[in-house]
Structure 1
Amino acid sequence: MSSMDKTMKFNFSEEPFDQDVQSVLLSVHEALKEKGYNPINQIVGYLLSGDPAYIPRHKDARNLIRKMERDELIEELVKYYLEGNKDK
């Protein structure tokens, strides 16, 4: 079996939703809404591409989101979503 066929294990902390991530995402979301953008589309565009041009400079949103690692943002979003939907 080649190494490409093996499942890799990714470890992360089992902490609740990170307040820093939450406050950054909420601030960026608000800045995007104020500028008339679809916040979900813009944040997803940034998370997938890493291109900060998806996030405006308005209210320092671009600098705020760039201070966080994208994988950390994605990790927290997935964790938050799954924890909120595990009883469904």
Structure 2
Amino acid sequence: MGNISNTQYFKVNSETEISVKEILDTVYNAMTEKGYNPVNQIVGYIMSGDPTYITSHKNARSMIMKVERDELVEELLKEYIKNRAWQ
């Protein structure tokens, strides 16, 4: 047994981390499959914070709730700028 006055750290990775981009892709596809306009619904969620804008199909609602809304905006803006969509 080691020194009992030191605290040992133990980290459990319960879930595989998924990127914001992958979450947005999954949510977009789930919304499309259910017949919703994914852009309108995602904007509604980002603006209001109300998760009912997102379908629970394919676990999309619980996935998007794991990400802060500002992170969603950041990812969308990065992709927009990267693709230079204004040109």
TM-score when scaled to structure 2?
0.74
Q: Which residue of 2 aligns with 1:24?
A: 23
Q: RMSD in angstroms over aligned alpha carbons?
A: 1.8
1:6-29 per-position Cα deviation (integer Å, ceiling 9, x unaligned):
xxxxxxxxxxxxx70111001001
The structure whose Rg is larger is: 2
Large movers: runs of 4+ above 2 Å: none
Unaligned runs of 5+ in 1: 1-18
Helix, strand or coil at the partner of 2:36:
coil
Q: Which structure 2 residues correspond to residues 1-88 of structure 1 after superposition, within 5 A?
A: 20-85=19-84, 88=87
In structure 1, C-alpha distance between the alignment counterparts of 2:56 and 2:25, rounded to whole Å: 15
Aligned length: 70
1:17-68 per-position Cα deviation (integer Å, ceiling 9, x unaligned):
xx70111001001110111100110011101111000001111000000000
Instruction: Please identify which structure carries the higher helix content.
Output: 1
CA, structure 1 residues 61+86, in 2 after alignment: closer, same or farther (shift >3 Å)?
Answer: closer
Q: Which sits farther off after the overlay, 75-84 or 43-52?
A: 75-84
Q: Calculate percent identity across the aligned residue pairs.
A: 54
TM-score when scaled to structure 1?
0.73
